[in-house]
């Protein structure tokens, strides 16, 4: 399965958005590959990790985020759920879980309720190491500033919105995954 071919299937009529998505996804995938190479002790599934990193944001096309050329109707926070549905329809349930679980450092039912997010009250916390690595790597790259990688400190500042639990989880991942 070629992730770029699958992305093109859904984004062919939106070339600007496709380019933003591909650039961001390649950055995330590249960092995931660096983590995989630097940490053989984790026994990560390299091929799956690459594919999942490339596809984690496939659901942005149906969201309303004009700053990154998304002109859909859904709230941006739902892009993981949308991506999960797309990937399940494509027969990729493991990839779907990554898409659903990469927002922030994962979303708990309590966080969804506390922040009144338009998501079902479920646990969207990354569980497998591959889910965690994609979630971690994704935090270093923005779709609005494609040429910049965020510093560890900058990522921590951005996670404040998700609460202390998210910051704590990211710090733990940094100890495990830093390259």
Confidence of residue 162 (pLDDT cuts 50, 70, 90): confident
Q: What's the pLDDT score for residue 22? A: 98
Confidence of residue 129 (pLDDT cuts 50, 70, 90): very high
Quick: pLDDT tens for 98-123.
999 999 999 999 989 999 999 999 99
Q: What's the pLDDT score for residue 1? A: 84
pTM beyond 0.85: the answer is: yes
3-state DSSP of the chain: CCHHHHHHHHHCCCHHHHHHHHHHHHHHHHHHHHHHHHCHHHCCCHHHHHHHHHHCCHHHHHEEEHHHCEECCECHHHHHHHHHHHHHHCCCHHHHHHHHCCCECEECHHHHHHCCCCCCCCCECCCCHHHHHHHHHHCCECCCCCCCECCHHHHHHHHHHHCHHHHHHHHHHHHHHCC
- Kindly state the average pLDDT of the residues 24-34: 98
Ordered by where they begin, the domains of the chain are 3-177 (1.10.3210)
- Residue 32, pLDDT > 80, answer yes
């Amino acid at each position: 399965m070629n992730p770029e071919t699958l992305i093109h299937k859904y984004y062919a009529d939106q070339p600007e958005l496709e380019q933003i998505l591909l650039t961001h996804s390649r950055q995330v995938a590249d960092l995931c590959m660096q983590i995989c190479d630097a940490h053989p002790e984790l026994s990560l599934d390299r091929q799956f990790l690459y594919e999942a990193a490339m596809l984690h944001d496939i659901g942005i096309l149906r969201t309303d985020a004009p700053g990154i050329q998304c002109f859909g109707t859904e709230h941006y926070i739902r892009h993981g759920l949308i991506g999960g549905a797309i990937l399940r329809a494509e027969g990729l349930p493991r990839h779907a879980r990554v898409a659903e679980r990469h927002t922030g450092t994962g979303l708990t039912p309590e966080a969804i309720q506390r922040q009144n997010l338009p998501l079902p009250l479920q646990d969207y916390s990354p569980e497998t190491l591959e889910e965690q690595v994609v979630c971690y790597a994704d935090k270093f790259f923005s779709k609005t500033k494609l040429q910049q990688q965020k510093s560890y400190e900058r990522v921590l500042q951005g996670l404040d919105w998700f609460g202390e639990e998210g910051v704590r989880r990211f710090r733990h991942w940094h100890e495990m995954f830093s390259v």
